[in-house]
Structure 1
Amino acid sequence: MTTLSDRNILILGGTADARKLAVALAGKGTNVTLSLAGVTLSPRDQGVPTRVGGFGGADGLAVHLHEQRIELLIDATHPYATTISRNAEIAAAKSNTPILALRRAPWRPEAGDMWYEAGDLKAALAIIGSEPKRLFVALGRKEIAPLATAPQHLYLIRSVDPVDAALLPPKHETILDRGPFALDGERQLLQNHRIDAVVCKNSGGTAAYAKLRAARALGLPVHMLNRPPLPDVPQGSDVETVIRMACEYLQT
């Protein structure tokens, strides 16, 4: 049986869970590199060696895995990052690199929730309807363009980085903030802006869950964009499970 010392791991990250996973595996003596796509303009310090930017698709990632002698690839990207997850699966197969995924469990509606699920933002706007509303939008800053197709609403848009002005709908307010968010703050935000409904992704985890608790407490509907299908690779739903799986892979 081999040890974990100096085994090469590449983690595709961009989430708080990916950072936790990288730090934990580095603490076990592995050579961990955390890869960020570069979507966030000012990412937090990740606590481990980090690379920023794409690989050039699946083929480029496969070459990187081979050249860097990566012994385990872990996809810990956002549940909606479909392109990189598909590229990871293909690259792992091309380079004969073992792959794991950290796929946190989706949120489930609880008693008192008023969720309306939709396949995408356009479908969610259709469900919301033509009557003007004040909508709190918590989506990726590059994914809000469809809001302009429903200009009757006022949108309160929260993002980590500034949104491209060309993507903003006619009536909007923007907030720059980064989670995790607390219940009291989220409830006050929704009340102060007289929000009628929330639009968000089913990201799972705890960092962004408070807005759903606040909507529940205030009796507000939530328009939830469903998760896209992702590759079927060995996976765990939490950091601890993926750490255990990674250790098992690397010790065989």
Structure 2
Amino acid sequence: MHVLILGGTTEGRRLAELLTGEAGRRVTSSLAGRVAAPRLPPGEVRVGGFGGAEGMAAWLREHRVDALIDATHPFARTISFNAASAAATAHVPLLALRRPGWVADEGDDWHPVGSLEQAARVLPALGERVFLTTGRMGLAAFAGPEPDLSALWFLVRSVDAPEPPFPARMEVLLERGPFTLDGERELLRTHRIDVVVTKDSGGAATAPKLLAAREAGIPVVVVQRPPVPEAVPVAATPEEAAAWLRGLSD
């Protein structure tokens, strides 16, 4: 069985590790190529796009893929919908592997929004020193001129250096998770952060910032994740995804 994993996430790497140890299984992981030095999973690896849904469908047929698992980031909406279309066209079973989202707890001051643009609009009423942890690809939403965020200062954390447009008043931290609670407490204190912006990525690697913000009484603007395409089954863990694949073989 040839399995194609649309990866680039911790869950995608873990699934590749599980599957490459099984007999009769060929595993190919596809990475988008947006990170300069990605952590490569075991098995075969391809890097780069497919050329949309039609290109992906052609790749599935050409390489005789028997199952497709979308283990991309929960906010990689375009490729998830391309995967659903390609799988239907090529008649390949598709599963979405999605870590559960975060859930607010007692003491949290969360402000859910539907997009980065909405996050930018609510910021001026919440604080002036912003810890922005939404990645380097969406910084244009905070670059103005509308809304006017010129009075705000941003601490931007990303794996690779961002490219403009980005906020005028900004400091960049080039770091890769997982992050510790003590480290996040110190970061908020040292930089005098008074509001945090994050995507609801879920998982434990970047969750400590939420607990640190709760302890400090700092509001958190949470960008809600887009939905999985309709009719696509969802697994919450790599182990569940591996079990789904075994069911296809039975």
Seen in structure 2, the aligned counterparts of structure 1 residues 132 and 99 have a Cα distance that, compared at 3 Å, is closer
Q: Which amino acid aligns with 2:33?
A: G
2:173 counterpart (175, 182, 201):
175
Alpha-carbon deviations, 1:48-77, whole Å to 9, x = none? Answer: 221100001000000100010000000000
- 1:10-21 equivalent positions in 2, closer than 5 A: 10-21=4-15
| TM value normalised by structure 2 | 0.95
Once the 2 structures are TM-superposed, how far is the Cα of residue 230 of structure 1 from its aligned partner?
2.1
- 1:22-61 equivalent positions in 2, closer than 5 A: 22-29=16-23, 30-61=25-56
Does 2:103 match 1:108?
yes
- 1:87-126 equivalent positions in 2, closer than 5 A: 87-126=82-121
Identity of aligned residues (%): 46
Alpha-carbon deviations, 1:130-170, whole Å to 9, x = none? Answer: 67600000112111111112221100000000111x22211
Q: Which runs of 5+ in 1 are unaligned?
A: 1-6
- 1:136-215 equivalent positions in 2, closer than 5 A: 136-149=131-144, 150-164=149-163, 166-215=164-213
Whether the 8 Å contact between 1:10 and 1:73 is mirrored in structure 2 is yes
Q: Secondary structure at the match of 2:27?
A: strand
Q: Which runs of 5+ in 2 are unaligned?
A: none
Alpha-carbon deviations, 1:209-247, whole Å to 9, x = none? Answer: 111111111111100001112213011111111111111
Match of 1:3 in 2: none
Once the 2 structures are TM-superposed, how far is the Cα of residue 127 of structure 1 from its aligned partner?
1.7
Whether the 8 Å contact between 2:126 and 2:195 is mirrored in structure 1 is no
| TM value normalised by structure 1 | 0.94
Alpha-carbon deviations, 1:3-35, whole Å to 9, x = none? Answer: xxxx10000011111000111111113110000
Does 2:58 match 1:63?
yes
Whether the 8 Å contact between 2:20 and 2:42 is mirrored in structure 1 is no
Q: Secondary structure at the match of 1:116?
A: strand
CA distance in 2, matches of 1:107, 1:52: 29
